[in-house]
Structure 1
Amino acid sequence: MKVIYSKIAVFIALLVMVSCKNGNNTTVEEAPAPNPVKVYSADDISVKAYEYDGLKYFLNRDNDTTYVVNFWATWCLPCVEELPHFEKLNAEYKDEKVKVLLVSLDMRKMIESKLIPFLKEKELKSDVIIMTDPDSNSWIPKIDSTWSGAIPATIIYNKDKRKFYEQSFTYEELETELLSIK
């Protein structure tokens, strides 16, 4: 009889341990990034292309990281002038939970002839993707209702705060905005 009670006690202890382990202490893993529409590669550089539905993932992450998402293009002089500030921010905050994403709005026909050579020449270290959804009238207001569509434009967000900027930045301005959200 003692053996039966011992086995029952061990079974109950294991049951309690398993139920506690699977209780409120479970973590919800974030879904992986969606598959790109296409991956363009040349000169050891690859750029993933997304339509708006794929881009939404990068604009709405719900974790403990602060994201700095910059919309730019190689043909936009103010965009190109501010890219070093995003690169510096990416480098300065790489050990903190800050992630910079550069979303190119270059045309598809420019990806291999202009964008990839530009990325190689500038040696950009931040993640770069390209938005290839041609229906900008549809997705621009979904990104931010106040966005006219002009670039450069930037979103800085985390799970608690979100700000949209339709402007160029100096490094100091960009860092100040990051710290106000972080």
Structure 2
Amino acid sequence: MQISKSIKLYTHIIITIFFVNKVLASETFSKNLIIHENPKILSKVEFKNLNLQDVDLAKNKGKIMILNFWATWCAPCKKEMPSLDKLSLYFKEKIIIYPINMEKPNREKTIKFFKDLKIESLKIYFDPDFKLAKKFKMRGLPTTILIDKNGMEFGRIIGEFNFEDEKFKKILQGKI
């Protein structure tokens, strides 16, 4: 009699653990993703391209934009960058992706970083004065800002993220 109660208890525990793991596993894609209930108004957003010329996001209003802040020394940045590159290929001209290096501009080091990771479709940008880090109140790298067609921040990703996730692609598709 005692053995059967123990077996039932252990079976119940195992089933509970299985279901909890299943629920948590299905939500892990979004643990770093925050979608704002009310998009945030952005003031002027400017940074530099590879040649240190000004880039103004206002010129691309009407398109979905992704600002990804990273650094060459950042291991999670290195890990997620290939999936960001593939996302760029997936959406082509529908979404503009700006990977913005948060280090002092160093063309050679940054180009080597992209080359080593076999990044093919992304261009290189810099925030040499760290103005955007302050503007977006970033606490760490990588950080990604999602901007809608109206130029408003509709979401944010804090930490490493798999940009190839189908649920994430559906969120972006719904904004196009």
Which band: TM-score by shorter chain? 0.5 to 0.7
Distance 1:167 1:152 in 2: 5
Q: What is the rounded CA distance, in whole Å, between the counterparts of 2:160 and 2:171 in structure 1?
A: 12
Choose the corresponding residue for 2:139, options 124, 144, 149.
149
User: Which residue number corresponds to residue 15 of structure 1?
Assistant: none
Distance 1:121 1:148, change over 3 A: closer
| Structure 1 residue 164: Cα displacement | 2.5
Give the C-alpha shift of residue 132 in structure 1: 1.2
Question: Deviation at 1:107?
Answer: 2.6
Question: 1:76–1:84: structure 2 CA closer, same or farther, 3 Å change rule?
Answer: same
Matched with 1:159 is 149
Change (3 A) 1:71 1:179: same
Matching residue of 1:70:
68
**Could you state the TM-score of these two structures normalised by the residue count of structure 2?**
0.59
Aligned partners of 2:65 and 2:96 also within 8 Å: yes
2:133 to 140, 144, 148: 140
RMSD between aligned residues? 2.7
State the 1:70 CA deviation.
Answer: 0.4
1:49·1:131 contact (CA, 8 Å) conserved in 2? Answer: no
The letter of the residue matching 1:86 is L
Q: Is contact 1:106–1:115 with CA below 8 Å preserved after alignment?
A: no
Q: 1:168 aligns with which of 154, 160, 175?
A: 160
Checking the alignment, whether the CA contact within 8 Å between 2:47 and 2:127 is kept in structure 1 is no
State which structure, 1 or 2, has the greater radius of gyration over its C-alpha atoms. Answer: 1
Map of 1:25-174 to 2, 5 A cutoff? 36=48, 47-49=50-52, 54=54, 57-58=56-57, 60-61=58-59, 63-94=61-92, 96-108=93-105, 110-112=106-108, 114-124=109-119, 125-133=121-129, 136=130, 139-142=132-135, 144=136, 147-160=137-150, 161-162=152-153, 163-170=155-162, 171-172=164-165, 174=168
Count of residues in Structure 1 that have an aligned counterpart in Structure 2:
126
Query: In 2, distance between residues paired with 1:105 and 1:130?
Result: 6
Alignment gaps of 5+ in structure 2? 1-45
The separation in 1 between residues aligned to 2:127 and 2:116, in whole angstroms, is: 21
Give the TM-score, by structure 1 length: 0.57
Q: 1:140 Cα deviation (Å)?
A: 2.4
Measured in 1, the distance between the counterparts of 2:126 and 2:47 equals 13
By relative contact order (CA 8 Å, sep 6+), the higher-ranking structure is 2
The answer (yes or no) to whether the contact 1:62–1:158 under 8 Å persists in 2 is: no
| Shift in Å, 1:121 | 2.6
Question: Match of 1:49, SS?
Answer: coil
> What's the % identity of the aligned pairs?
23
Q: Deviations over 1:50-83 (max 9, x none)?
A: 6xxx45x13x455321111101111100001000
